[in-house]
Amino acid sequence: MPSVSQVEGRIADVEGFYVMFVSPDGSDIEDSQIVDYPYVKAASSKWTVTKWANTRLVGIGEEFAFAVLDRDGTAVHGNTLLSTVRATYYEAEADEEPSDDDYWTAEELETKTLRELKQIANENGIQVKAGAAKQHVLDALLGEPEKDEKEKDEVGVPGNQSPGDAVTAAPRELAKGRSTTPQATSSDEMNGSLDVRSLETWLWETVCQIQGPLDAIKFKDYIVSLVFLKRLSDVFDDEVQRVADKVGGLQAARELIGKDHALVGFYLPEGARWSAIASKTTGLGEALTDAVRAVANQNPRLQGVIDTVDFDAIADGQRVVDNDRLLALVRTLGQRRLGVQDVQSELLARAYEYLIRKFAEGQQQGAGPFYTPPEVARLMARILDPQPGMRVYDPCCGSAGLLIQCRLRLLETHGKAVDEHRELPPEVGPLKLFGQEINPSAFAISRMNAFLHEMEAEIALGDTMQSPAFTDPHAHLRKFDLVIANPKWNQDFPEVVYRNDTMDRFSNGIPPSSSADWGWVQHMIASLKPAGRMAIVLDTEAVSRGSGGAETSRERDIRRAFVEHDLIEAIILLPENLFYDTTSPGIVLILSRVKQHSGEILLINASRLFVRGRPKNQLTDDHASQVHQLFLNWKSVKQQAAVVTNEQVADNDYNLSPGRYITASIVGELERLAELHRNGALTDHEFASLKEKFIADL
């Protein structure tokens, strides 16, 4: 976790004002740790300091007091509006007398990257078109005269000059970091680069243009589609400029691309390009709907992906999102370019997943099936350890987060650093990714997510349990090296689904109609290759229901079949309140057709490994590393892990709850100490001391 001083600085970067945390007794707490700030600017300038604190600081520093400071370092009243506090900073910056150090010199400009030069141009009112070469931008900044028509097409005019006027010089004084619209930005943004944190903050502020953070949740599908369209449009503009550089002009490039769409990744009709959308002031909902449908019509791969939203939809006699709010969204998104040279695919994809997570936090109920917390997904990917060229399958893929984490794990273990991201070298084969999703909205998000991550994934829309999409020509299930999933827990499926199955998926037993948990497990194991492995997130009761009872239990009998066939490799008990549609902890069940430790099962208790947060707890990367190391070490560790035999599980009526065995090992250790004491091997003092230490360690 970050220190208090780090969080204070980060709040200043995002919010545009300063917060000071203090301890109740006045002691120094600068190095104390605190839960990280969510980095979300207050949605409304009408928020008071108290409302902001109650909304943004809940769960962050409850053990500390805090004060919001004005420019002079004085604590402001709780009823003060945030807009008033921010204004003191902006006004102070505007009133400062500039010095020579506040302006760029030619020597400094020549050391800047193209992206940084574009940012400087934007801050000083010099318009630079997409695709302009570095030298062209530098010439405009330095006031060099334009040389030919082609350069006029690339570099715009400063200030209020009309396009017909000759451009002879840029402003002589190029101010450092003085945008015409004051915003609370990070130092990285001011230097021209856009890091993932800044991108996340900007995207969420865009979302909040609709009204407020809570209301924005209802419009998830609208917003993710609009962000995706903006990315497509900016990338298309970049590709047009690339062709223009080769053929000698933008007009020739547009005509050529219009005849041959294969020259670009995705072809956007003229009315679907951002420049056309941004020019609309009325009828924006209809225009956006027409735009996404036109894009899908021209690009079959995007059908059912980008065209599922009706921006002009009406409910209860009024538009779901009115023209003014759509206009605010479009204008805010238009403030930044999302082209390949502006935002790396990896950073944009991470920010896009941040948006999805924020929506899941707000949606709560019903969010679990389409979104798995990334820290859980990363843990599962680490344990499965995908290797080059493997085929990976998720039968209920939601937003494709589990497939994406498998790809990122391969990049982590086999990729090479290239600039600020990792790429697989040519000799390393990428993963072949497959998924199926029943919910059309989640399906669309999964496809967009895959495109943004620049990964090839075959994702199908449909009901996996009743109509699996991935079959061979003989109507048998296709087989995969790895299968990974987080299905909705305890789904209701009629027994006829299992009994009428023609693919031999449920040979280990028919699950009860009230819970499909072991139905999903059986579908996944049936989809594995002979040496395949799988990981699935389930309700904790799925590994214990029916054990110890006098009556027969279908789930207990299915577990017995899996234990007898030696398919269960490990079970991990997760912390509570990680998932977005439940506060229950959940477990990760690992199965393997070829186990390294035959006849054994590793049970891990990770229930205490989390950072408490709002609205959800978090399993940090350090915690995930601890769990992964416990899995690799494969040995019993007091209070954390237990290695049990299949025979022990049978003796416990096939109850696979980690707590049952790990708690039992603790009790067993206490009994061992007591036996040594009774036999005289330990004195009263030694026994009391060891017992006290043992309990303290717990």
Give, in order, the Cα–Cα distances in Å from 610 to each of 262, 365, 607, 623. Answer: 49, 22, 8, 7
* Residue showing tokens 């396009």: 163
The answer to whether 662 and 417 have CB atoms below 8 angstroms apart is no
Least confident of 219-223, 262-266, 279-283, 511-515: 219-223
- Which pLDDT score is estimated for 123? 60
Which tens digits make up the pLDDT trace of 130-178? Answer: 556 777 778 777 776 544 444 434 333 333 333 333 333 334 466 655 4
Residue 265 scores a pLDDT above 60: yes
Q: Where in the chain is the domain with CATH 3.40.50.150?
A: 356-656
- Which pLDDT score is estimated for 368? 45
Report DSSP state, residue 659: H
- Which pLDDT score is estimated for 663? 64
Residue 99 scores a pLDDT above 60: no
Compare 132 and 283 and report the one with higher pLDDT.
283
d(CA 99, CA 207): 38
The H or E element that residue 569 is part of is strand 568-573
The answer to whether 68 and 75 have CB atoms below 8 angstroms apart is yes
Percentage helix, strand, coil for the chain under 3-state DSSP, each rounded to 5: 45, 15, 40
- Which pLDDT score is estimated for 59? 65
Per-residue HEC secondary structure of 517-568 comes to HHHHHHHHHHCEEEEEEEEEEECHHHHCCCCCCCCCCHHHHHHHHHHHCCCE
d(CA 609, CA 327): 45
- Which pLDDT score is estimated for 287? 95
The CATH classification number of 356-656 equals 3.40.50.150
Residue 514 scores a pLDDT above 60: yes
Residue 428 scores a pLDDT above 80: yes
Residue 475 scores a pLDDT above 50: yes
623-652: string of b/e by CB count within 10 Å (b at 16+)?
bbebbbebbeeeebeeebbbbbebeebeeb
Q: What are the tokens at 478? A: 């296709």
Whether omega for the bond prior to residue 615 falls within 30 degrees of 0, making it cis, is yes
Residue 117 scores a pLDDT above 90: no
Least confident of 48-57, 206-215, 673-682: 206-215
Catalogue the E-assigned strands of 33-87: 65-69
Quote the distance between the C-alpha of residue 504 and its chain's center. Answer: 36
Compare 96 and 389 and report the one with higher pLDDT.
389
Residue 567 scores a pLDDT above 60: yes
Question: Angle, nearest 10°, between helix axes 374-384 and 621-633?
Answer: 30
DSSP characters over 149-218: HHHHHHEEEETT--TTS------S--BSS--SS-----HHHHTT---HHHHHHHHHHHHTTSS-HHHHGG
Task: Output phi, psi for 156, to 5 deg.
Answer: -80, -165
DSSP characters over 100-132: GGGB--HHHHHTS-HHHHHHHHHHTTEEE-TT-
* Amino acid in position 63: E
d(CA 680, CA 467): 67
Query: Span 358-371, mean pLDDT?
Result: 57
* Amino acid in position 433: L
Q: How many CB atoms neighbour CB 581 within 10 A?
A: 17
Least confident of 15-24, 166-175, 355-364, 651-660: 166-175
Q: Where in the chain is the domain with CATH 1.20.1260.30?
A: 194-343
Which tens digits make up the pLDDT trace of 644-676? Answer: 999 999 999 999 999 888 865 555 555 667 777
Least confident of 150-164, 306-320, 491-505: 150-164
d(CA 278, CA 295): 16
Q: How confident is the model at residue 216 (pLDDT cuts 50, 70, 90)?
A: low
Q: How confident is the model at residue 194 (pLDDT cuts 50, 70, 90)?
A: low
d(CA 689, CA 669): 14
121-145: string of b/e by CB count within 10 Å (b at 16+)?
bbbbbbebbbbbeeebbbbbbeebe
Query: Span 414-443, mean pLDDT?
Result: 88
* Closest C-alpha among 660, 649, 662, 656 to residue 564: 649
Give, in order, the Cα–Cα distances in Å from 434 to each of 102, 117, 188. Answer: 53, 41, 37
Q: How many CB atoms neighbour CB 161 within 10 A?
A: 12
Q: How many CB atoms neighbour CB 698 within 10 A?
A: 7
Q: How confident is the model at residue 285 (pLDDT cuts 50, 70, 90)?
A: very high
Query: Which of the residue ranges 174-188, 222-236, 339-353, 672-686 has the most confident prediction, judged by mean pLDDT?
Result: 222-236
* Amino acid in position 548: G
Q: What are the tokens at 315? A: 């409910």
Query: Span 369-398, mean pLDDT?
Result: 90
Report how far apart the first and last C-alpha atoms of the chain are (Å, whole number): 23
d(CA 187, CA 13): 8
Residue 683 scores a pLDDT above 70: yes
* Closest C-alpha among 485, 199, 186 to residue 349: 199
Q: How confident is the model at residue 41 (pLDDT cuts 50, 70, 90)?
A: low
Residue 100 scores a pLDDT above 60: no
pLDDT, mean over the chain: 80
Q: What are the tokens at 582? A: 């439940």
90: exposed, middle or buried (Cβ count in 10 Å: 0-12, 13-18, 19+): middle
d(CA 622, CA 609): 9
d(CA 361, CA 616): 8
Residue 12 scores a pLDDT above 90: no
d(CA 131, CA 268): 17
Give, in order, the Cα–Cα distances in Å from 491 to each of 434, 484, 585. Answer: 22, 18, 17
Which tens digits make up the pLDDT trace of 568-627? Answer: 999 999 998 888 777 888 999 999 999 999 999 999 999 889 888 767 788 888 899 999
- Which pLDDT score is estimated for 668? 53
Residue 54 scores a pLDDT above 70: yes
High-pLDDT (> 90) share of the chain, %? 41
The answer to whether 364 and 389 have CB atoms below 8 angstroms apart is no
Least confident of 33-47, 235-249, 293-307: 33-47
- Which pLDDT score is estimated for 86? 76
Q: Enumerate residues 6+ apart whose C-beta is below 8 A from 264.
A: 236, 239, 240, 243, 257
193-203: string of b/e by CB count within 10 Å (b at 16+)?
bbebbbbbbbb
Give me the half-sphere count of Cα atoms (radius 13 Å) on the Cβ side of residue 336.
Answer: 24
Q: Enumerate residues 6+ apart whose C-beta is below 8 A from 37.
A: 7, 10, 11, 14, 56, 60
Compare 194 and 70 and report the one with higher pLDDT.
70
State pTM to two decimals.
0.66
Q: Which CATH superfamily is domain 194-343 in?
A: N6 adenine-specific DNA methyltransferase, N-terminal domain (1.20.1260.30)
Compare 163 and 98 and report the one with higher pLDDT.
98
* Closest C-alpha among 298, 297, 327 to residue 311: 327
Quote the distance between the C-alpha of residue 41 and its chain's center. Answer: 19
